[in-house]
Amino acid sequence: MPRLSRIVLKNVPHHITQRGNNQQDVFFVDDDRQVYLDRLKEQSQRFGMDVLAYCLMSNHIHIIAVPRNDTALAKAIGGTHYLYTQYVNRMHSRSGHLWQNRFFSCPMDNQHLWQAMQYIETNPIRSGTADKPWLYPYSSASAHTTNDDPTGVLDMNWWRSKSDQFNWQDILERRLKKEQVRNIRLATTSGRPLATDSYLSKLEKIAGRRLRPLPVGRPKKKISDNKQEENRQEMGLPITIK
């Protein structure tokens, strides 16, 4: 089955993820992650993409970002991964593909944005890499719990305009429901928006295309009157008298 063409909506948050080729590591030493963040910052500023959150695991990455134009997402992420691959091949004397295929992404509404941020910043907890999300040094959790981003990657103006409404550290201590995790993963790998029905309708108007999957199976055929009467007889129901 052909993969769905990428859905990118400007000024809408997107969850982005990509794994290493054959699920192999993409970060080999601590400096690699800093180089990746430097490239992400450069390419985001160059092409017009605001980064809201990120998490760099050993063999994959998660980013939540808002493209400010139709091509920003592909160019910023594509440019980051191209330049980072060049760096890794040079520094670690390797060759070949570093990343597995193209990256996955899906647009989200505000409700699911917060769930996705919680999901990616608690990733190190689910993997057993860290005891607390904000203690993991390669994600945005620390910046969001301290209101300080020394990397300069994140859109902290956006964050500070929201963060006085909740305690993010308390939220990161909670567990997402299994259904929430499943929905985030399914939407991201399928490329379809993660949103409520009402918001999906708005997104479809903006995109000018259908964003929901078509109903599974063939349309139901209308049963003839005679067939309906036969069915009623077989079920022991009274026949309709016309």
Give the residue extent of every domain in the chain: 14-213
| Residue 182 confidence (pLDDT) | 97
Name residue 193's amino acid. Answer: P
What is the 3-class SS of 120-159, one letter each residue?
Answer: HHCHHHHCCCCCCHHHCCCECHHHHHHCCCCCCCECHHHH
| Residue 75 confidence (pLDDT) | 98
Q: If the chain, 242 residues long, is cut into consecutive pieces of 10 residues, what is the mean pLDDT of each piece? A: 75 97 95 98 99 98 98 98 97 92 94 97 96 97 97 97 93 96 95 91 82 64 51 42 36
| Residue 227 confidence (pLDDT) | 52
| Residue 56 confidence (pLDDT) | 99
| Residue 4 confidence (pLDDT) | 66
Domain 14-213: CATH superfamily is Transposase IS200-like (3.30.70.1290)
Kind plus residue range of the DSSP H or E element containing 34: helix 30-47
| Residue 207 confidence (pLDDT) | 77
| Residue 206 confidence (pLDDT) | 78
| Residue 118 confidence (pLDDT) | 98
Q: Are 173 and 63 in contact (CB under 8 A)?
A: no
| Residue 128 confidence (pLDDT) | 94
